Amino acid sequence: MAKKVTCIEGGICAPKGFLSAAVGCGIKDPKVKRLDLGLIYSEAPTVGWAVYTQNEVCAAPVRLSSSYLKSHPPRAIIVNSGNANACTGHQGMLDARTMADSTANSLGILRREVQVCSTGIIGVPLPMDRIEREIAPLGQSLKADGDDIARAVMTSDTQPKSVAAEFKIGRKKVRIGAVAKGAGMINPHMATMLCFVTTDANISQAEVKAATNEAVAQSFNRISVDGDMSTNDTVIVMANGQAENDRIVRSGNGSGDFREALTQVMLHLAKMIVADGERVTKLVEVKVTGAASRLDAERVARAVGNSKLVKCSWNGNDPNWGRVIHAVGYSGARVKEEMVEIHFDGVIACQNGLAAKTNIDELSAAVKKDEFTVCINLNIGKGSYSLFTSDLSPEYVEFNREEYALNRKS
């Protein structure tokens, strides 16, 4: 966190006026009662914004929630793990709507103030009998404790992911709390990246929307695990004004601080998502500089960060700059081969497009680390971009081999 922002305890219930609860209803398997249904609620009215997957095939809860967002800011989030309620047709929409209705009834708010999120297997209807009866009790058991909800959203995440931060706007302390679950590589069940952010900042609707879009672009849109985009990805930000700071408006006092803190909170969770899971052994930052444009820099970072051959070499601690430069070459960016420079964690591997005269053991040591940086300087312009990604392990493939048939047989 930057100097002005302090990490604190409490997760999504660190900001004033936010409550949460979670319960186990055996969504995936009635015999296993792990926490799989959660609720987040702001006691006071809110402003807020959400960003959803751009996948054309999107889940029923995403369709429902995005339609609600158009008219009402989110004040409560009902979320389940174990089943994505995706590719479930008309019944899926009815089920998502029932989840919103029950939640609204339980809290005495409007249905359209509820955001519904689901994560888990695709193409299987929700077990609504088990879910619906748990929602009213959930509304009764709300408390200012974010631990259970952080567990309830997990699918194959190996650990809960939450963070909270505090900073000052004028003389008022403002807090941001957040919880997330991971996706893709760390998740053999094709589930989703979810992130819910709460803040007690007093902020305008326009500014919370702009800040959310900016922070997502700088964090969750800058991670790549396996290049796949889920049907359910959702980031929701709710702000309830309980910190009583002077209202933050666009380009006004505190706007820069709020955006920076929000970005840092999301980036912190984004990196946790990439690093999580025993099947990932490396967190790698691909930093591209000297590109003809920012877009070209992003093209290079994504081509390198998504290349199966590059990711395999990282898994083997192999400083294979040849594979990196070949991905640079097919990225679609303007490249002058004889200008390209590649460093592995500060150790030069390639200069002027040629092998640098670095000792191989020094290079190998650089990529042996759990976290390292690959810097690629194209040396032709000022465009830059950085992406957080991971290696590709044999275990990733093993864990992703046979989900569907197993689930249909169970």
Answer yes or no whether residue 329 interacts with a copy of itself by CB under 8 A. yes
Instruction: Give the binding range for a copy of itself (CB under 8 A) out of 135-143, 164-172, 228-236, 255-263.
Output: 228-236
Residue 172 burial (10 A CB sphere; 0-12, 13-18, 19+): middle
Between CA 144 and CA 17 the distance in angstroms is 8
- Residue 192 catalytic? yes
Between CA 241 and CA 266 the distance in angstroms is 20
Between CA 150 and CA 180 the distance in angstroms is 7
Instruction: Give the binding range for a copy of itself (CB under 8 A) out of 23-31, 119-127, 162-170, 234-242.
Output: 119-127
* Residues 22 and 152: beta-carbon distance below 8 Å: yes
User: C-beta of 93: minimal distance to a copy of itself in Å?
Assistant: 11
**Catalytic one of 53, 103, 192, 281:** 192
User: C-beta of 365: minimal distance to a copy of itself in Å?
Assistant: 11
| Cα angle value 256/259/264 (rounded, 5°) | 125
Answer yes or no whether residue 323 interacts with a copy of itself by CB under 8 A. yes
Answer yes or no whether residue 397 interacts with a copy of itself by CB under 8 A. yes
Instruction: Give the binding range for a copy of itself (CB under 8 A) out of 2-10, 157-165, 281-289, 352-360.
Output: 352-360
Q: Which is nearer to a copy of itself, 114 or 122 (CB)?
A: 122
Beta strand 234-239 pairing with 194-199: parallel
Interacting positions 234-293 with a copy of itself (CB under 8 A): none
Interacting positions 30-89 with a copy of itself (CB under 8 A): 54-58, 86-89
Answer yes or no whether residue 309 interacts with a copy of itself by CB under 8 A. yes
Distance from first CA to last CA of the chain, Å, rounded? 45
User: C-beta of 89: minimal distance to a copy of itself in Å?
Assistant: 5
Q: Which of 11, 241, 319, 383 forms a contact with a copy of itself (CB under 8 A)?
A: 319
User: C-beta of 223: minimal distance to a copy of itself in Å?
Assistant: 15
User: C-beta of 63: minimal distance to a copy of itself in Å?
Assistant: 10
Between CA 156 and CA 120 the distance in angstroms is 10
* Residues 387 and 301: beta-carbon distance below 8 Å: yes
Instruction: Give the binding range for a copy of itself (CB under 8 A) out of 44-52, 97-105, 251-259, 350-358.
Output: 350-358
Q: Which is nearer to a copy of itself, 129 or 338 (CB)?
A: 338
Neighbours of 66 (CB within 10 A): 16
Q: Which of 124, 126, 237, 297 forms a contact with a copy of itself (CB under 8 A)?
A: 124
Could you tell me the two tokens for 249?
């408006």
Q: Which of 31, 70, 338, 357 forms a contact with a copy of itself (CB under 8 A)?
A: 338
Q: Write the interaction track for a copy of itself spanning residues 169-208; mark x where CB under 8 A is met and - where it is not.
A: ---------------x-----x------------------
Answer yes or no whether residue 25 interacts with a copy of itself by CB under 8 A. no
Between CA 117 and CA 107 the distance in angstroms is 17
Answer yes or no whether residue 396 interacts with a copy of itself by CB under 8 A. yes
Q: Which of 236, 340, 348, 366 forms a contact with a copy of itself (CB under 8 A)?
A: 340
User: C-beta of 358: minimal distance to a copy of itself in Å?
Assistant: 10
What's the DSSP call for residue 143? B
Query: Following CA atoms 287, 290, 295, 301 in sequence, which dihedral angle do they give, to the nearest 10 degrees?
Result: -30
Q: Which is nearer to a copy of itself, 199 or 306 (CB)?
A: 306
Answer yes or no whether residue 321 interacts with a copy of itself by CB under 8 A. yes
Answer yes or no whether residue 29 interacts with a copy of itself by CB under 8 A. no
Closest CA to 340 of 375, 306, 311, 364: 375
DSSP readout, 30-72? TT-----EEEEEESS--EEEEEE---SS--HHHHHHHHHHTTS
Total residues at interface with a copy of itself (CB under 8 A): 73
Between CA 148 and CA 141 the distance in angstroms is 12
Q: Which is nearer to a copy of itself, 76 or 191 (CB)?
A: 191
For 64, residues 6+ apart whose C-beta sits below 8 A from its C-beta are: 93, 96, 97, 100, 116
Beta strand 283-291 pairing with 383-390: antiparallel
Which residues are part of the catalytic machinery?
192
